Structure 1
Amino acid sequence: MSIERNLRRAGRVAQAGLSLVELMVGVLIGMIGIVVIFQMLATSEERKRTATAGSDVQVTGAIALTSLERDVREGGYGFSSAAYDTGITPVMGCTVNAYDSARPTAAFTYRLTPVQIVQGAGAASDTIIVLRGSGNHFPASYVFTESTDTSKKTRGRAGISPRDYLLVGRSNPTLQCMTVEITDVSNADALTIAHDQGSYNYTIYLPDGSTSPGTRIARHNNAAPPVTFTSGFLFNLGTDPRRNIWTVNAGKLQVTNDLMYQDTDGDGTNDPVEVADNVVSLQAQYGHDANNNGRVEAGEWTTTDPVTDAQWANVLAVRVGILMRSGQFERSAVTTTVPSWTGGQFVITNLDDSASGTTPTDPADNWRNYRYRVYETVIPLRNILWGAQIRP
């Protein structure tokens, strides 16, 4: 009996709790496990943010390129034959005298070209200007043989309606262009069209096939036109022509319609429409068919504006490149060289606008700590290619 009791006592002593050293080892192992888990979680989250930011850039880049490409493809619609119309010279490339009573300065001018590229200075992005009409009818030009400051007599006015925005051009005796807004086509001769000042009536065509009367102020007719015509050509740009100005401002790709001034915020400037963000640079080149063989060859891409109307007629395509930046800051330098496109290397700066060769104090301003994606394409000017087939 005493022996059994002693064995039980010995067993109880052997089953005593963990020592302090064992507890500390267990805590250390647990802490190491927690550190590893959180490190894996942080790495996973960082990669997730990088992938998400890359996906955002891919979507916005595709939207930016597609929107710009669709607009440029329409360049020249409504006046594509201006490069080929007979006379002494075509009217493509002329300075257009325009008017918009809604602008701070109503009278303004622009160049008659389907696309114009304004080269940015230094690291600045280029500006791409696209001019196109919106008419629903065959875009051949009209010939007018008589003219006053408020009317034109054509050889036939079919397809011209009130509210249409017409480009008036002549090449003889001097190259002159002007825009007018049509206010009336009811003259009994079936040839004369009017572009008076003040209000006028027009017909609204509803989706169900019915019509409704409308009234409008002729905001595009100058009471004192700077150009006087006796004869020439008319190009119908429809009721909603656009001279879209594509720019990059504060990392955003924006477009503004220069022909329809609108200042809803009262800042004294034409309101832009934001198309995409995280845009670093927009670059463009003309595809100029210098040897007139009907195609743009490797050495015929240039940033120089054409000078003559014949040179403008030989601009058959535009090449554009868009540089996009991810919004995700990376702790290490993930981009070591300045991105390039077919037209050359982009010129970029740090996020604090310092030169790319410098290292900012704040790593978040260093351009190298961000990922980039380049989008580029060649856009044919199809309306110019077709223009030779629709001469008056």
Structure 2
Amino acid sequence: MKLRAQIGFGIVELMIAMSLGLLLSAAVIQVTLASQRSQRVLEAAARLQESGRFAASFLSRDLRMSGYMGCANLQRIPVNIIAKNPPDDLNFISTGVLVGEDNVGADNDYDAVENTDMVFIQRAVTPAASLTGNMGANNANIQINSNPAGIGADDFVFITDCITADLFSATTVSNSNGNSGHITIAHASNNNITNRLSKVYGSDAEIMGFQSLVYFVRDTGRNTPAGNPIHSLWVQARNLGSGATPVATELVEGVEDMQVSYGEDTNDDRNIDVYRSAAEVSNWAAVLSVRVELLMHSTDDNIVGAAGEFVQNNLIFNGAAVPSDQRLRQVYSTAVAIRNRLP
């Protein structure tokens, strides 16, 4: 009797097929996981780049305007400060408008992260207003055409005509005065040493608000899922219209450390001779530029290191190796020239 051919798989063929299937599945899984890991690294790096760019932009914008006072500068025109009992953050002299603090202690007034740097900036705030009234006599108030900067009572106010400059405390700021459209800013003697400015200003005078800023790195109190602390760049600013009370604001998340060095002209030739830390600067009036280095960290864990997802070479910041906690890190640097001190 003729036997029919056997149809189907034997146990050997089935085992071989299963083994090949498992190998192919494992390969697909590995490729998928690798792709996901690469995607996480790329996303973390993109967020770091964006945060670093924002942080550098904030710092550069305000550092560049240190000591700004309109058409003049402190090298040509000293400011006559008539405000009574000015606060510590009002020191508008050539050695006061830009200063820094190096490697702050743990008990600092700003709750800044220990061993990070802080930078203090003072400047006039634009847009400026034009003087339109009370120009015929030395009065206890001035009148301006508009108030685009939002100057309010208790704010500090600049007035300058590029020959003379005064800085006073506004006691009251009126709304638009009837059909004239003038806004009156009083500088009475209860907030000032005198209710008289140093001269009678004309229509060429500019009126601006005063602003002080402190940039620093602070622990936000928030943690990553793995429990690592999240640091951010903060600024404490004396903003106009706030009753002259400085307010601290978180700007950019993921700034772990900030180190600042200052380009100093040591021989009065209007060129930078050396970059120094804040503790080493000998004359703050001779600082012509500022160099800022930011150490950024990702807010996601398990990006680098022990998880094996991405190997980041030893990172050096401020002369020391940065310890790894499986977060991605990057260093961003920028250098800023002080406009009012350029040749």
Length-normalised TM-score, structure 1: 0.60
2:293 to 312, 321, 324: 321
* Aligned residue type for 1:317: S
Worse-superposed segment, 55-64 or 269-278: 269-278
Q: Give the Cα separation in 1 of the matches to 2:84 and 2:281.
A: 20
The structural deviation recorded for 1:50 is: 0.4
* Aligned residue type for 1:345: G
Equivalent position of 1:244 in the other structure = 213
CA contact (8 A) 2:314 2:321 kept: no
Equivalent position of 2:43 in the other structure = 52
2:103 to 110, 120, 123: 120
Equivalent position of 1:303 in the other structure = 278
The structural deviation recorded for 1:257 is: 1.8
The structural deviation recorded for 1:334 is: 3.2
1:312 matched to 2:281? The reply is no
From the CA coordinates, give the structure whose radius of gyration is larger.
1
Equivalent position of 1:256 in the other structure = 236
Q: Give the Cα separation in 2 of the matches to 1:234 and 1:255.
A: 36
When residues 320 and 33 of structure 1 are mapped into structure 2, their CA distance, relative to the original with a 3 A threshold, is same
Equivalent position of 2:74 in the other structure = 82
Length-normalised TM-score, structure 2: 0.68
When residues 124 and 160 of structure 1 are mapped into structure 2, their CA distance, relative to the original with a 3 A threshold, is farther
1:32 to 9, 23, 30: 23
2:140 to 151, 155, 163: 151
* Aligned residue type for 2:169: V
SS at match of 2:53: helix
1:21 matched to 2:12? The reply is yes
Q: Give the Cα separation in 2 of the matches to 1:291 and 1:279.
A: 35
Q: Give the Cα separation in 1 of the matches to 2:199 and 2:264.
A: 26
The structural deviation recorded for 1:225 is: 4.1
The structural deviation recorded for 1:326 is: 2.8
User: 1:212-227 alignment to 2 at 5 Å?
Assistant: 224-225=190-191, 227=193
SS at match of 1:81: coil
The structural deviation recorded for 1:78 is: 0.8
Q: Give the Cα separation in 2 of the matches to 1:128 and 1:285.
A: 10
1:162-197 Cα deviation digits (max 9, x unpaired): 75943499xxxxxxx96322xxxxxxxxxxxxxxx3
When residues 41 and 214 of structure 1 are mapped into structure 2, their CA distance, relative to the original with a 3 A threshold, is farther
When residues 320 and 237 of structure 1 are mapped into structure 2, their CA distance, relative to the original with a 3 A threshold, is farther
SS at match of 1:283: strand
Q: Give the Cα separation in 2 of the matches to 1:127 and 1:234.
A: 39
Q: Give the Cα separation in 1 of the matches to 2:192 and 2:19.
A: 88
Q: Give the Cα separation in 1 of the matches to 2:284 and 2:339.
A: 14
1:267-322 Cα deviation digits (max 9, x unpaired): xx95444332211111112222111111002x343423767xxx333221111111
User: 1:1-392 alignment to 2 at 5 Å?
Assistant: 6-7=1-2, 10=3, 12=4, 14-78=5-69, 81-85=73-77, 90=78, 109-112=89-92, 113-121=96-104, 123-135=114-126, 151=140, 163=151, 165-167=156-158, 179-181=168-170, 197-198=171-172, 200-202=174-176, 224-225=190-191, 227=193, 232=198, 238-250=207-219, 251-260=231-240, 262=242, 271-297=247-273, 299-304=274-279, 311-328=283-300, 329=302, 330=304, 331-332=307-308, 334-335=311-312, 337-340=314-317, 344-345=318-319, 356=323, 366-367=324-325, 369-385=326-342
C-alpha RMSD over aligned residues = 4.3
Q: Give the Cα separation in 1 of the matches to 2:6 and 2:251.
A: 75
CA contact (8 A) 2:144 2:183 kept: no
Q: Give the Cα separation in 2 of the matches to 1:71 and 1:134.
A: 10
CA contact (8 A) 1:199 1:217 kept: yes
* Aligned residue type for 1:284: V
When residues 160 and 18 of structure 1 are mapped into structure 2, their CA distance, relative to the original with a 3 A threshold, is closer
CA contact (8 A) 1:125 1:248 kept: yes
Q: Give the Cα separation in 2 of the matches to 1:36 and 1:128.
A: 53
Identity of aligned residues (%): 21
Structure 1 gap ranges (5+): 1-5, 100-106, 140-145, 170-176, 182-196, 205-210, 264-268, 349-355, 357-365, 387-392
CA contact (8 A) 1:289 1:314 kept: yes
Q: Give the Cα separation in 1 of the matches to 2:101 and 2:84.
A: 20
Q: Give the Cα separation in 2 of the matches to 1:27 and 1:315.
A: 73
Q: Number of aligned pairs?
A: 295
Equivalent position of 2:109 in the other structure = none
Q: Give the Cα separation in 1 of the matches to 2:82 and 2:103.
A: 22
When residues 17 and 335 of structure 1 are mapped into structure 2, their CA distance, relative to the original with a 3 A threshold, is closer
When residues 110 and 95 of structure 1 are mapped into structure 2, their CA distance, relative to the original with a 3 A threshold, is farther
* Aligned residue type for 2:286: N
Equivalent position of 1:266 in the other structure = none
